[in-house]
């Protein structure tokens, strides 16, 4: 009789022992399956959320590093701005798909009403211009925000490179702002650039000078975030103020913002001689640009950072959109860490427990195994018989625990994630200019335990490998058997 047939008959004849081994494998396999399932789910969440965060990166001050400085160190340092040459040099790196740099400033209007929300029941009254409109300077003609799906051009056109280079007074505004003020493509809108100084005698601001900013409307855009929220029937009132700010954003060439900001500074220095002297003495500049780079892939973030850091002034750092994953993924990350420890403990426990169970069963079959060896059966075939017996039972147990572990993982992880999320004092929010606004709730909503092909293959691989390792101890026992001593 072949050793394969003997192993199958042994399973059938020793029903109780086979059932005990099966039960142990199901219990331990469920723990492994649950841990693997959670690992797969958290890995998918991280991948999906980082894709939603996008491949954007920017350069900014390292405030944590600055906060760690002593007062003496603060007195000695001199912070520098990132100049345009550096911004453009970084933009030429191979990791960058496209980039832009923006100069922005806020202005008011005496003739244009600002958008205050869809459900506003009252109109806010201001004395003079409200300063609600942000002129956002553009150097990338297709408009980076439109390319990255923050907004969408719904009427008119984007800028031409000639308009950007010459600082032509043209603008792209939101469709809601246009509808509120009955504006269309081809119309003009007028903002007011007012310069104030503070009067110490009256305790009030005093108007120094002003001039109009007349812009021709060449395009209208819609916020894609608002469209997505409406399609998903989501209630995200916490982001209303962000949407209001975006609806009141007016895209213009960078040169317009630079020119209007320069006018403000010159008029202010005319009115405040002391400030003018201090400004000239320090050699300060009013031109502050915010660079934004879109990388070819989110995975390029680390390599991009390594190459950019040596080009930056001291106390600056590279910030990637994907860096903010950790700040909004607290509950899921906690679950991932816990599942990792459970997986390690379950594998070690399985190796020890199943190894001991099989060893105890083999001790009861010592005479049977001795007879096989004394009849001339090779030790390799006796070992193979035991391995087949264990693997056949293990295959059945692993298959059953595949479903039970997945079910347990879904129930337990959902409860633990919600409990962890409820214990957080504040919901951490990351707002990206290029991608949807994300919160911890978005991460939790993306978490889903399911029977994916990668989960099934991963679990079978880990499970069968663990069972094979578990048979090492019994195999050593068989190899050391002496058939003469057994049969004496």
Q: What's residue 95's pLDDT?
A: 93
Report d(CA 101, CA 99) in Å as an integer: 7
Residue 302 sits in the same domain as residue 338 = no
Q: What's residue 155's pLDDT?
A: 95
Q: Does residue 100 have a pLDDT over 80?
A: yes
Per DSSP, 300 falls in state: G
Q: What's residue 125's pLDDT?
A: 55
Q: Bin 311: left if φ > 0, else alpha if -120 < ψ < 50, else beta.
A: alpha
Q: What's residue 204's pLDDT?
A: 79
Residue 111 sits in the same domain as residue 38 = no
Q: Does residue 373 have a pLDDT over 60?
A: yes
First to last CA, the chain: 25
Which of 13-27, 49-63, 173-187 is most confident?
173-187
- For 207-229, write each residue's pLDDT tens digit: 889 999 999 999 999 988 654 54
- For 155-182, write each residue's pLDDT tens digit: 999 999 999 999 999 999 999 999 999 9
Q: Does residue 355 have a pLDDT over 60?
A: yes
Q: What is the largest CA-CA distance in the chain?
A: 116
Residue 23 sits in the same domain as residue 82 = no
Report d(CA 276, CA 261) in Å as an integer: 15
Report d(CA 310, CA 94) in Å as an integer: 16
Report d(CA 133, CA 119) in Å as an integer: 20
Per DSSP, 488 falls in state: -
Please provide the average confidence, as pLDDT, over all residues in the chain: 79
Q: What is the 3-state secondary structure (H, E, C) of 40-93?
A: HHHHHHHHHHHHHHCCEEEEEECHHHHHCCCHHHHHHCCCCCCCHHHHHHHHCC
Residue 260 sits in the same domain as residue 131 = yes
Q: Does residue 128 have a pLDDT over 60?
A: no
Q: What's residue 434's pLDDT?
A: 41
Q: What's residue 257's pLDDT?
A: 95
Q: Which of the pair, 122 or 324, is modelled with greater confidence?
A: 324
Q: What's residue 486's pLDDT?
A: 57
- For 424-474, write each residue's pLDDT tens digit: 444 444 444 444 455 666 666 666 666 777 778 888 888 888 888 887 777
Cα 338–472–486 angle (5° rounding)? 145
State the Cα torsion 271-274-277-281 to the nearest 10°: -140
- For 237-258, write each residue's pLDDT tens digit: 445 667 888 899 999 999 999 9
Q: What's residue 124's pLDDT?
A: 54
Answer with the one of 278, 300, 324 that is the final residue of a domain.
Answer: 324
Residue 81 sits in the same domain as residue 17 = no
Report d(CA 32, CA 402) in Å as an integer: 9
Residue 469 sits in the same domain as residue 386 = yes
Report d(CA 297, CA 56) in Å as an integer: 9
Evaluate if pTM is beyond 0.85.
Answer: no
Residue 393 sits in the same domain as residue 333 = yes
Residue 198 sits in the same domain as residue 294 = yes
Report d(CA 459, CA 252) in Å as an integer: 55
pLDDT confidence bin for 107, thresholds 50/70/90: very high
Beta pairing partners, 221:
153, 174
pLDDT over 90, % of the chain: 26
Report d(CA 170, CA 330) in Å as an integer: 44
Answer with the one of 308, 324, 340 that is the final residue of a domain.
Answer: 324
Residue 315 sits in the same domain as residue 373 = no
Q: Does residue 265 have a pLDDT over 80?
A: yes
Q: Residue 379 is encoded by which pair of tokens?
A: 């030790």
Residue 185 sits in the same domain as residue 172 = yes
By C-alpha distance, which of 214, 250, 242 is closest to 226? 242
Q: Bin 376: left if φ > 0, else alpha if -120 < ψ < 50, else beta.
A: left
Q: What's residue 449's pLDDT?
A: 66
Q: Does residue 413 have a pLDDT over 70?
A: no
User: Where is average pLDDT lowest: 189-193, 208-212, 315-319?
Assistant: 315-319
Report phi then psi at 78, rounded to 5.
-135, 105
Q: Does residue 414 have a pLDDT over 90?
A: no
- For 138-151, write each residue's pLDDT tens digit: 999 999 999 988 89
Residue 145 near residue 207 (C-beta atoms within 8 A): no
Q: Does residue 419 have a pLDDT over 60?
A: no
Residue 350 near residue 470 (C-beta atoms within 8 A): yes
Handedness of CA 144, 176, 122, 429 (dihedral sign): negative
What domain count does the chain have? 2
pLDDT over 70, % of the chain: 77
Q: What's residue 104's pLDDT?
A: 93
Answer with the one of 281, 296, 324 that is the final residue of a domain.
Answer: 324
Q: What's residue 447's pLDDT?
A: 66
Report d(CA 372, CA 379) in Å as an integer: 9
Range of the domain at 366: 3-52+329-487
Report d(CA 322, CA 332) in Å as an integer: 16
CA distances from 136 to 83, 143, 172, 181 (A): 18, 11, 10, 20
Q: Residue 52 is encoded by which pair of tokens?
A: 């939603």
Residue 13 sits in the same domain as residue 107 = no
Q: Does residue 75 have a pLDDT over 70?
A: yes
Residue 10 sits in the same domain as residue 72 = no
Question: In terms of C-beta density within 10 A (0-12 exposed, 13-18 middle, 19 or more buried), how is residue 485 classed?
Answer: exposed
**Count of residues in the chain:** 488
């Amino acid at each position: 009789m072949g050793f394969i047939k003997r192993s199958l008959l042994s399973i059938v004849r020793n029903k109780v022992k086979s059932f005990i081994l099966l039960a142990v494998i199901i219990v331990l396999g469920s723990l492994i399956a649950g841990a693997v399932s959670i690992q797969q789910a958290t890995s998918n969440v991280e991948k999906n959320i980082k894709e939603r965060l996008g491949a954007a990166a920017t350069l900014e001050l390292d405030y944590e590093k600055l906060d760690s400085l002593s007062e003496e160190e603060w007195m000695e340092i001199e912070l520098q701005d990132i100049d345009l040459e550096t911004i453009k040099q970084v933009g030429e790196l191979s990791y960058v798909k496209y980039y832009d740099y923006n100069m922005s400033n806020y202005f008011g209007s005496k003739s244009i009403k600002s958008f205050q929300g869809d459900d506003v029941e009252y109109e806010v009254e201001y004395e003079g211009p409200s300063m609600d409109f942000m002129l956002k300077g553009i150097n990338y003609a297709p408009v980076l925000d439109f390319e990255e799906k923050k907004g969408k051009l719904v009427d008119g056109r984007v800028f031409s490179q000639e308009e950007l280079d010459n600082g032509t007074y043209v603008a792209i505004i939101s469709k809601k702002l246009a509808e509120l003020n009955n504006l269309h493509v081809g119309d003009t809108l007028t903002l007011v650039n007012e310069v104030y100084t503070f009067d110490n005698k009256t305790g009030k601001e005093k108007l120094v000078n002003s001039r109009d900013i007349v812009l021709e409307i060449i395009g209208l855009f819609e916020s894609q975030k608002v469209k997505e929220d409406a399609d998903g029937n989501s209630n995200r009132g916490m982001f209303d103020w962000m949407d209001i700010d975006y609806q009141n954003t007016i895209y213009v060439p960078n040169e317009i913002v630079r020119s209007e900001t320069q006018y403000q500074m010159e008029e202010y220095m005319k009115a405040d001689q002391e400030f003018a002297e201090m400004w000239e003495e320090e050699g300060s500049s009013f031109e502050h640009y915010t660079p934004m780079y879109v990388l070819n892939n989110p995975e390029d973030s680390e390599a991009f950072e390594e190459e950019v850091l040596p080009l930056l002034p001291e106390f600056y750092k590279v910030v990637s959109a994907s860096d903010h994953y950790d700040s909004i993924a607290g509950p899921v990350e906690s679950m991932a860490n816990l599942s990792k420890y459970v997986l390690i403990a379950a594998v070690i426990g399985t190796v020890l427990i199943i190894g001991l169970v099989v060893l105890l069963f083999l001790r009861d079959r010592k005479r049977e195994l001795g007879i096989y060896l004394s009849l001339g059966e090779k030790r390799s075939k006796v070992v193979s018989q035991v391995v087949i017996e264990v693997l056949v039972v293990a295959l059945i147990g692993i298959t059953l625990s595949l479903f039970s572990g997945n079910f347990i993982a879904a129930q337990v992880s959902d409860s633990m994630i919600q409990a962890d999320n409820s214990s957080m004092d504040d919901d951490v929010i990351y707002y990206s200019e290029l991608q949807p606004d994300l919160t911890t709730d978005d991460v939790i909503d993306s978490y889903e335990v399911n029977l994916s092909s990668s989960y099934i293959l991963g679990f079978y691989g880990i499970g069968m490998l663990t069972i094979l390792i578990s048979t090492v101890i019994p195999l050593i026992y068989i190899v050391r058997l002496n058939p003469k001593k057994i049969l004496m």
